[in-house]
């Protein structure tokens, strides 16, 4: 399915000097571009009204379903400036398919893949001046919310899909330096039969109390254990996790319905296997993590996701104490995979899997 995007009166472009000042130190998710794309759905018209417009507030009825029953999903992907001045997207088709999967899991109307990609590309083309150079990128946030006005408990019959964009630098202060994570023993993120594999706001809301606990203990992120036995490592508050062993093999927790199927996770698995590494998708218990770190069998641990790319894990802290991996330093496997992935994203290296989509 395709739709022609109408171009409403666009925003007055941000002055070059103001934009350059914002791009000099954008942080993460605090600065936004001038435009957004919007598509609406209702049962009578289907997907319709595709529009690109000046970024502005939504008007929602107080009884809009999203405000009461949390039918909402989102995605995260980036646009990267090439050395020749053009702009790449990285695996937007994978984001579009995961968006459809999240919609189905949340009883929402799936958006056709072509519409998702076209909406993203419209914003990239219109706001290309906001794509940072160097190691920065333009973070794109497609999202969908239930807009039907009612107070009965049922799936909404109306939805708003939109894309906004934000120029970003490093997700963690200090860039890809090793992070300290807090082991959550009091809270869990998701359970079997729930929404753990969907990228919905409720999953992130469920992680915030644990993240606040992590921050209070001087940690950058929180890592969750499974909800049944409280033994097996699942994922961080917003990232997947990998372990690197002395024999050169990698391990990452399996996709069992409680873990978000990360696109960076999938890319890391593919690139590691391209390099001849053995990658296992298998459960990994926290007591084994401690023992392997102490014995030296575990050489590295790292988190990965669109926002942070790959971040080495230096220290794991909990109420019982803390332990470090690789002496708290970044390891060669994590940093090597990070460089390989980033070079493909920015067009600096060959793209053997056809992941890069040139927008400009």
Residue ranges and CATH numbers for the domains of the chain are 6-168 (3.30.470.10), 179-345 (3.20.10.10)
Within 10 A of 279 (CB to CB), how many other CB atoms are there? 16
pTM for the full predicted model:
0.95
| Residue 8: band (very low, low, confident or very high) from pLDDT cuts 50, 70, 90 | confident
Overall average pLDDT of the 32-57 stretch: 96
Rounded to an integer, what distance in angstroms lies between the CA atom of residue 27 and that of residue 23? 9
Report DSSP letters for 137-169, one per residue: EEEEEEEEEE--B--SSS--SEEEEEEEEEEE-
Q: Are 54 and 34 in contact (CB under 8 A)?
A: yes
pLDDT score of 108 more than 90: yes
Average pLDDT score, the chain: 95
Q: Does the structure show a pLDDT above 70 at 174?
A: no
Give the whole-angstrom CA distance, residue 134 versus residue 83. Answer: 9
- How far apart CA 254 and CA 282 sit, in angstroms, is 5
pLDDT tens figures, 226-249:
999 999 999 999 899 999 999 999
Rounded CA gap, 246 and 244, in Å? 7
Q: How many residues comprise the chain?
A: 360
Strands 179-184 and 221-225: parallel
Q: Which of 101-105, 110-114, 170-174 has the lowest mean pLDDT?
A: 170-174
Q: Give the model confidence (pLDDT) of 141-167 as tens digits.
A: 999 999 999 999 999 999 999 999 999
In the numeric block, which tokens belong to residue 178?
């090793």
Say which residue the tokens 């493909």 belong to: 344
Query: Could you tell me where the DSSP H helices lie in 41-112?
Result: 65-69, 92-105
Residue 175 has pLDDT above 70, yes or no: no
Closest to 129 (Cα-Cα) out of 9, 23, 28, 55: 23
Contact 75, 199 (CB under 8 A): yes
pLDDT at 103: 98
pLDDT at residue 176 above 80? no
């Amino acid at each position: 399915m395709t739709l022609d995007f109408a171009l409403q009166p666009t925003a007055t472009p941000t002055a070059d000097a103001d934009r350059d000042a914002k791009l000099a130190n954008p942080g993460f998710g605090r600065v936004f571009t001038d435009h957004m794309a919007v598509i609406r759905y209702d049962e009578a018209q289907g997907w319709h009204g595709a529009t690109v417009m000046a970024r502005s507030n939504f008007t929602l009825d107080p009884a809009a379903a999203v405000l009461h029953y949390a039918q909402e999903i989102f995605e995260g992907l980036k646009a990267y400036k090439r050395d020749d001045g053009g702009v790449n997207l990285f695996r937007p088709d994978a984001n579009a398919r995961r968006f459809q999967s999240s919609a189905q899991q949340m009883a929402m109307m799936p958006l056709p893949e072509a519409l998702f990609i076209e909406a993203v590309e419209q914003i990239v083309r219109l706001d290309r001046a906001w794509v940072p150079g160097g190691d920065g990128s333009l973070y794109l946030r497609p999202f969908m919310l239930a807009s039907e006005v009612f107070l009965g408990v049922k799936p909404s019959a109306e939805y708003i899909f939109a894309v906004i964009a934000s120029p970003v630098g490093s997700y963690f202060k200090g860039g890809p330096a090793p992070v300290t994570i807090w082991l959550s023993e009091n809270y869990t993120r998701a359970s079997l039969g729930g929404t753990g594999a969907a990228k919905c706001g409720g999953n992130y809301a469920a992680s915030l109390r644990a993240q606040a606990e992590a921050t209070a203990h001087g940690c950058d992120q929180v890592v969750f254990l499974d909800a049944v036995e409280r033994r097996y490592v699942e994922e961080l508050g917003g990232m997947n996790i990998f372990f690197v062993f002395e024999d050169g093999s990698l391990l990452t927790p399996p996709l069992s319905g409680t873990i978000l199927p990360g696109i960076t996770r999938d890319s890391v698995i593919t690139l590691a296997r391209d390099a001849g590494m053995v990658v296992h998708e298998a459960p990994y218990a926290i007591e084994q993590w401690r023992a392997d770190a102490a014995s030296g069998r575990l050489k590295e641990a790292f988190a990965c996701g669109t926002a942070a790319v790959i971040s080495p894990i230096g220290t794991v802290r909990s109420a019982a104490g803390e332990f470090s991996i690789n002496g708290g330093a970044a390891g060669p496997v994590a940093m090597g995979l990070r460089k390989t992935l980033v070079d493909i994203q920015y067009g600096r290296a060959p793209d053997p899997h056809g992941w890069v989509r040139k927008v400009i």
